[in-house]
Amino acid sequence: MKTKYFLYARKSTEDEERQVMSIEAQLAELADFAKRENFDIAERFIESKSAKKSGREIFNEMIQKIYASKKPVGILAWHPDRLARNSVDGGQVIYLIDIGKIVSLRFPTFWFEPTPQGLFMLQVAFGQSKYYSDNLSENVKRGIRQKLRRGEWLGLAPFGYVNNPKTRTIEPDQMKARVIKKAFEEYAQGRHTLESLGQRLSFWGVVSKTGKPLCKATLQRMLTNKAYIGLIVHNSETYEGGFPAIVSRATFEKVQEVLKNRAKPRHSKKRHYFPFTGLLTCGECGAAITAQWAHGNGGTYRYYRCTKRLGPCSQRYLREDLLVEQLKDKISKVALCEDWKEKMLAKVELWEKENIQSSQSFAQNLENKIKETEQKLDKLVNAFLDGSIEKETYLVKKDELIKTKIDLLAKKSDFGRKGNNWIEPLKEWILSAHHAEKLASSNEFDEIKSFAEKIGTNRRLLDRKLLFDFVRPFDFVPKYTEKCERSPAAGGANEPTNCPQNPSSFVWSGREDLNLRPLGPEPSALTKLRYAPYSYKLQNKLYHTSGKETTDLILIARKEAVRTFKQSPGRKGTTPTIIASFIPMPVTNSNWATPVIYMITTPSNPATQ
């Protein structure tokens, strides 16, 4: 009686777009082969799955039908490796041949007969298939390990990066990287939930394949992806990436903290939007300020009030629009106009060029720390390979050392030159103070709250009035503008002004001889500011050439220059009063210290030195 054949065709991947021609080619070749040999094909079994491991559904279905068949059957396939690449499935086929359930195995490219020699050759073919699969796996793993050593990204680039075929790694996309960076910064500031961040990204054109805003799970993966700080995570192990980071480490850690705090949110049926909650405390009892809706005058309004959690309190409600008005007024007091911003940034650029110098000792110290970290990594790997430590401990310690090394390399790159560490904070302060001018006329409540937290401390609400103290260096602007407004103008009238109209009223220089020349009597000496990139905090008196009472602001540069200025003969002086720090910076040399602004007042009739 003629033998019935089961036709089996398989490709290795489940992806429909890959190896599309493999199945079609097998079916065409097998159909021609069956026609030439006059085989009767009873059923076809087509599958898209790897045969490296057992558990293929279609293959198991075919095996079960062979077991259940009352008559022996044959199998028609392209090659023995299509049937099995593992010992379990190959053993099943050989066992079915041994018990007589399979009487024929036919392949266009391989000969087989159910004899001892044929079974031996079939076992060799299955063994070769398994060896090829195992060897291929090892080769792929070796290639992956080498790519990780070189810091190359594996696979498709995450959003914000693009694959570079020349370097075989990823690099930031100019536009998308800015979107990712902005999204991280805004989420770190607490301005968004995952849902509102999805809406924000949708506004910037970042949507899903269906055109809808990104779902929460996608955003969660994006915000926790260490690729954005230049790290590669593979099999729960962290590696140093050879591509630029998009987000700073501080911003990334802040985002993780926000995600952790919001992991178990308070459940409520309806969430209200109160943008200024958490910003203020009660000026009478110290309790937090909360918000609520209230109806009146034909509308619904948001009001802010004391929670009274700490005891009785007599403070009344404050409508939100009145609170916003007071916040904008506070913000406007620290605002720098366009004229000031341009002059300051121009001078900062000049200082940056004048003060660039190499920092050999600092760079050497960083280099030693980097080498020490690399040695620790080598010792850790050796200890793990020797079996001295557990894998969990190894992964945790390696992750810590990799992060330490990345931070040290970033410091080495950013602080390659000595004396420039104050440039970026100074620029940031100037731009922030200038942004306050636009913010004071906007209705971006979340941004107003964030900026108020940045510039003010001890923020409280008392008798429906907003009170807080400006933090340094933002407190310099309101104090200086207040003095400008009280100072008589050139025409003799008290005309308040925020921006001096005369460009020569700013005398900024990094040279000591320009900053520390003696001051002569001037009717409005306060409008002459002399700045230097560094200053020294004096403990003794400052000397002045004026014989009349005058008030001035000056920023002193170096110890040597201060001594020269102090010891000049014929000077008059008083003890200076510190009114504001201009910008914080670490002391890197004994000749430098935190820049401080002094208010120098000379009496009308000083004693002669």
- Tell me, yes or no, whether 458 and 528 share the same domain: no
- Is residue 382 situated within a structural domain? yes
- Tell me, yes or no, whether 14 and 138 share the same domain: yes
Provide the CA 440 distance to its chain's centre, in angstroms.
Answer: 28
Tokens 């405390």 found at: 281
β-bridge mates for residue 465, sequence order: 462
- Residue 89's nearest CA partner among 110, 111, 61, 117 is 61
Domain boundary among 423, 454, 470: 470
Provide the CA 305 distance to its chain's centre, in angstroms.
Answer: 36
- Neighbour count for residue 300 (Cβ, 10 Å): 9
Residue 269 pLDDT: 54
Cβ-proximal residues to 350 (8 Å cutoff; 6+ apart), any chain: 510
Residue 13, phi then psi, degrees to nearest 5 = -110, 150
Residue 307, phi then psi, degrees to nearest 5 = -75, -20
Three-class SS of residue 281?
Answer: strand
- Is 575 in contact with 601 (CB distance < 8 Å)? no
What are the C-alpha distances in Å from 603 to residues 152, 240, 480, 545, 606? 69, 63, 21, 11, 6
| Residue 106, both tokens | 């036919």
Residue 253 pLDDT: 92
- Neighbour count for residue 172 (Cβ, 10 Å): 19
CATH of the domain at 78: 3.40.50.1390
- Tell me, yes or no, whether 281 and 246 share the same domain: no
Does 107 score more than 80 pLDDT? yes
Task: List the end-to-end C-alpha distance of the chain, in Å, as a whole number.
Answer: 131
**Pairing state between β 357-358 and 417-418:** antiparallel
If you count DSSP H runs as helices and E runs as strands, how many of each does the chain have, helices first? 18, 23
Strand extents, DSSP E, 523-584: 529-531, 542-544, 550-554, 572-574, 577-581
- Is 584 in contact with 474 (CB distance < 8 Å)? no
- Tell me, yes or no, whether 252 and 291 share the same domain: no
- Tell me, yes or no, whether 450 and 315 share the same domain: yes
- Tell me, yes or no, whether 367 and 516 share the same domain: no
- Is residue 522 situated within a structural domain? yes
Tell me what the mean pLDDT of segment 561-585 comes to: 37
Cβ-proximal residues to 587 (8 Å cutoff; 6+ apart), any chain: 593, 594
Does 61 score more than 80 pLDDT? yes
Does 591 score more than 70 pLDDT? no
Give the angle subtended at the CA of 334 by the CAs of 328 and 337, to the nearest 5°.
100
- Tell me, yes or no, whether 135 and 16 share the same domain: yes
- Is residue 100 situated within a structural domain? yes
Does 514 score more than 50 pLDDT? no
Mean of all residue pLDDT scores within the chain: 75
- Is residue 535 situated within a structural domain? yes
Residue 483 pLDDT: 67
Does 281 score more than 90 pLDDT? yes
Q: CA 512 to CA 565: how far, in whole Å? A: 10
Residue 1 pLDDT: 65
- Tell me, yes or no, whether 33 and 137 share the same domain: yes
Q: CA 467 to CA 461: how far, in whole Å? A: 6
- Is residue 494 situated within a structural domain? yes
Could you tell me the residue range of the domain that residue 130 belongs to?
4-146
- Tell me, yes or no, whether 230 and 132 share the same domain: no
Q: CA 592 to CA 535: how far, in whole Å? A: 7
Domain boundary among 229, 261, 293: 261
Does 121 score more than 50 pLDDT? yes
- Tell me, yes or no, whether 186 and 229 share the same domain: yes
CATH of the domain at 251: 3.90.1750.20
Q: CA 414 to CA 424: how far, in whole Å? A: 11
- Is residue 368 situated within a structural domain? yes
Tell me what the mean pLDDT of segment 192-204 comes to: 89
- Is residue 285 situated within a structural domain? yes
Residue 527 pLDDT: 34
Beta sheet of 4-11, edge-to-edge order: 40-48, 4-11, 73-76, 102-106
- Residue 285's nearest CA partner among 307, 256, 253 is 307
Count how many domains the chain has. Answer: 5
Q: Which of 58-67, 405-414, 517-526 has the lowest mean pLDDT?
A: 517-526
Strand extents, DSSP E, 362-501: 417-418, 456-462, 465-470
- Is residue 151 situated within a structural domain? no
- Tell me, yes or no, whether 107 and 19 share the same domain: yes
- Tell me, yes or no, whether 581 and 452 share the same domain: no
Does 472 score more than 50 pLDDT? yes
**Alpha helix locations (H) across 229-337?**
249-261, 320-332
Q: How is the chain split among helix, strand and coil, in percent rounded to 5? A: 45, 20, 35
Residue type, 141: K
Residue 218 pLDDT: 92
